[in-house]
Amino acid sequence: MAHADSAHSAPAILQEVKPAVLPRATLVENNRSFAWITEKICSIIEGKTPTWWWVCFIVACFVASFTVAGITYLVATGVGVWGHANPVNWAWDIVNFVFWIGIGHAGTLISAILCLLRQKWRTSINRAAEAMTIFAVVCAAIFPVFHVGRVWYAWYLFPIPNSNVIWQNFRSPLEWDVFAVSTYGTVSVLFWYVGLIPDLAVLRDRFYAAGNKLRSFLYGLFALGWRGSNRHWSNYEMAYLILAGVSTPLVLSVHTIVSFDFAVSLLPGWHTTIFPPYFVAGAIFSGFGMVLTLMLPLRAIYKLEDLITQYHIDCMCKITLATGTIVGYAYAMEFFIAWYGANPYEGFAFINRAFGHYAWAYWIMIACNVITPQFFWFKKVRQNTAFVWILSIFVNVGMWFERFVIIVTSLARDFLPSSWGYYSPSIVEIFTFFGTFGVFSVLFLLFIRFLPIMPMAELKAVTPQADVHAGHDHH
Amino acid sequence: MSAQSYGLIATFDTAAGLYQAAQQVRDAGFKHWDCITPFPVHGLDKAMGVKRSIVPRFSLAGGITGFITGMSLIWWTGAVDYPLIVGGKPYFSPMFAFPVAYELTILFTAFATIGGMFFLNGLPKHYHAVLKHDQIVRGMDDQFFIVIESRDPRFNATNTRALLEKAGGTDIKELEA
């Protein structure tokens, strides 16, 4: 270039820097058409109910009956049927509550945060992940609601004028939690439903064309007259973006406020400022564990490999790895601060966690949450679906133990040795918790039977043929 | 036609074809017309001349209402209606009121956003001429339609049909109102 020759002392500067062309991962494999996507998703609903579905459904109903039995016994008898006793008056109920709420968080992360970050790979998993969120919140809500004892007074949690003319104590993190969790549940349902509307319209018209007037009417009732108008899409997309925008601070605030239930107290082991970010990371970690647990079997059963590709699994594994590592860092930092803070009670609480009566729980937690995700560094592991699925189960188990370790070990060994104790769950608690997996499965099975498990409109929008500028400049 | 006419509907097989045609209909000066697509087509708003959505105004109003509701609820119940000392803390402080006000901001924003979206879209709607189109099931699946309403001042059964044909539309039909 003449420019560079004339002033050879000046450093060589390129006239123009072209942005590097990064290869984009294919989100829908095998170049599938729009019609193929519609057919694939709708056929799951339109086809005959498979036998495996009935088998799973009956088993899930049986498991769910344990929760019904446990709760019925509790309501008929009193909260004393749970194993709570001084000093551990808060145990499996809150452990299970935090566990289920945390699982829900991945659904919102996928639908909201990844939407804002324009991570298009979210499209094939977001519907099922959002359904998981809602059902997880349902399971979570069971525990605090029934822990109030006289459940028919549970409405006292909300500021409704009552005959005692007193109001809720808004200085308490538990009251904040009421608002956080009920807002979270409501917004998750709204977000999920708004996403479903265009797909319900597809089913409405397909059932109508097939001559099934009843199902066409039912889907049509919830499709609200959606007709795919672009003037509607314009408002719809804006509304969806705003919902994603508000769900992002919502999901972060919900687990932050859940962590305040502990962090705002004065108990050693709970009273730490690291809790909000640590709980949020843990929630996303456990939620992605559950997403993998649910999506991998679905992918295999319904042959969805073209829609949930290896790239999707890689992404989910990497997020699990990242959040799991953050959780591991938080465990280490808690120990460091306990030592650095020079508070003997705090120091004891952590030594006791790792080497006290509940050490078995602590080391299960470390093994599942810190060591398990490290396997996801390896591509070979991420490509082995069965192995990924097994690891995802370990993540779920580990995160349940994390909550158990935080809550129970801190309460069982507080300030004075005279008030120390050892907590074991009662059979009623075990039944109630075991049954929630049935409740969750029943709801999830109904979801995959009657609603489109993937957002068809969004999937179509990420295919190459949806790009109207194909082969041209993006302007 | 015995029934009153709603307008003309033309079919397009590709998103790119629809995009080109939408620009032509826009440039012809039509106001009462629409594209029916199975998914939001990126860039189509511009091709149609649709302005940026005003849903955010509803969201903002909802958010502000939510925040004020949260703060005033806690202030009124705690400091006005039944002042009660708990743990030596003040009757009201924006600090402890913040988490609840924050959640209500989000809750009200979500409702206002969705309500605003439905209001602007005129949904729910029990009946619409487009849904009577015998190929609407394809419009939800893999085809694209342009509908030009007969109430548009520029509408003319012959010329509008010619425009849609020229733009690449096939299977042009009249819709009953």
Top pLDDT among A153 and A467 is at A153
Contact A225 B125 (CB under 8 A): yes
| pLDDT above 70 coverage of chain A, percent | 96
CA dihedral A311, A314, A318, A319 (to 10 degrees): 60
Residue A261 touches partner B, C-beta closer than 8 Å: no
Which residues of chain A have a CB within 8 Å of the CB of B137?
205-206, 208-209
Selected for mutation to probe chain B from A118, A124, A192, A233 (highest B CB count within 10 Å) is: A233
DSSP-assigned letters across all residues of A423-466: ----HHHHHHHHHHHHHHHHHHHHHHHHS-SS-HHHHHHTSGGG
Q: Which of A234, A254, A259, A261 would best serve as a mutation to test chain B binding (most B beta carbons within 10 A)?
A: A234
In order of A22, A23, A277, B64, the CA distances from A315 in angstroms are 17, 16, 21, 37
Average of pLDDT values for A242-251?
90
The conformation of residue A150, written as its DSSP 8-state character, comes to: S
Dist. CA B9–CA B36, nearest whole Å:
10
Answer yes or no: is pLDDT of A3 > 60.
no
Q: Using a CB cutoff of 8 Å and minimum separation of 24, what contacts does A212-215 make?
A: none
For B43, left (φ over 0), alpha (ψ -120 to 50), or beta?
left
Please report, for chain B, the start and end positions of each structural domain, with discontinuous segments joined by +: 5-53+126-176, 55-121
Are the beta carbons of B50 and A239 separated by less than 8 Å? no
**Closest by Cα among B18, B57, B37 to A226:** B37
Arithmetic mean of pLDDT, A248-269: 89
Nearest-angstrom CA–CA distance, A474 and A306 = 27
- Integer angstrom CA distances of residue A283 from A226, A296, B115: 35, 20, 30
Predicted pLDDT at B3: 65
Q: Please tell me the predicted confidence (pLDDT) of residue B1.
A: 45
- Name the one residue in this structure whose structure tokens are 């609603």: A451
**A64 pLDDT higher than 90:** yes
Burial class of B74 by CB neighbour count within 10 A (0 to 12, 13 to 18, 19+): buried
Nearest-Cα residue of chain A relative to residue B99: A176
User: Domain ranges in chain A?
Assistant: 50-461
Q: ipTM strictly over 0.85?
A: yes
Contact A450, A74 (CB under 8 A): no
Q: Which residue has the tokens 């082991």?
A: A269
Q: How confident is the model at residue B115 (pLDDT cuts 50, 70, 90)?
A: very high
The torsion defined by the Cα of A39, A40, A42 and A43, in degrees rounded to 10, comes to 90
- The two tokens of residue A326 are 């953050």
pLDDT of residue A475: 41
Q: How confident is the model at residue B23, as a pLDDT?
A: 85
Closest partner residue to A232 (CB to CB) among B48, B121, B131 is B121
**Mean pLDDT throughout A439-465?**
89
Predicted local distance difference test score (pLDDT) of residue A417: 86
Encode pLDDT of B33-60 as tens digits.
888 888 888 888 888 888 888 999 999 9
Nearest CA in chain A to B85: A169
- The beta-carbon neighbor of B39 closest among A226, A466, A470 is A466
| Amino acid, res. A421 | G
Residue A2: pLDDT above 50? Answer: no
Binary contact (B38, A234; C-beta < 8 A): no
- Arithmetic mean of pLDDT, A365-379: 92
User: Topology of A50-461 in CATH?
Assistant: Formate dehydrogenase/DMSO reductase fold (1.20.1630)
Average pLDDT of the residues in A353-365: 91
A389 pLDDT more than 90: yes
**A101-112 average pLDDT score:** 83
CA–CA dist A311, A324 (Å, integer): 20
Using DSSP bridges, classify how beta strands B170-176 and B144-149 pair: parallel, antiparallel or unpaired.
unpaired
Contact status, residue A198 vs residue A38, Cβ threshold 8 Å: no
Say if A265 is an interface residue toward chain B (CB within 8 Å).
Answer: no
Cβ density class A425-462: b for 16+ within 10 Å, e for less: bbebbebbbebbbbbbbbbbbebbeebbbbbbbbbbbb
- A25-29, A107-111, A343-347, A461-465: which has the minimum mean pLDDT? A25-29
Cβ density class A87-109: b for 16+ within 10 Å, e for less: bbebbbbbbbbbbbbbbbbbbbb
CB contact under 8 A, A171 and B89: yes
| pLDDT for res A9 | 61
From the list B114, B126, B139, the residue facing A228 with the nearest CB is B139
Mean pLDDT in residue range A321-336: 92
Going by C-beta distance under 8 Å and a sequence separation of 6 or more, which residues neighbour residue A356?
A: A409, A413
Across chain A, mean pLDDT equals 87
Share of chain A above pLDDT 90, in %: 34
Checking if the pLDDT of A471 tops 60, the result is no
Which of residues 150 through 209 in chain A touch B, CB cutoff 8 A?
159, 165-171, 173, 175-176, 179-180, 183, 186-187, 190-191, 194, 198, 201-202, 205-206, 208-209
Nearest CB to B141 within list A34, A238, A470: A34
A38: how many CB neighbours lie within 10 A of its CB? 25
Candidate from A242-246, A255-259, A263-267, A302-306 with smallest mean pLDDT? A302-306
The strands making up B33-36's β-sheet, listed across from edge to edge, are B33-36, B144-149, B5-12, B170-176
Shortest distance between the Cα of B3 and any Cα of chain A, in A, equals: 22
Q: Indicate whether A472 pLDDT > 60.
A: no
Number of continuous H segments (helices) and E segments (strands) in chain A: 18, 0
pLDDT in tens, A266-289: 888 888 888 888 888 888 888 889
Closest chain B residue to the Cα of A225, Cα to Cα: B125
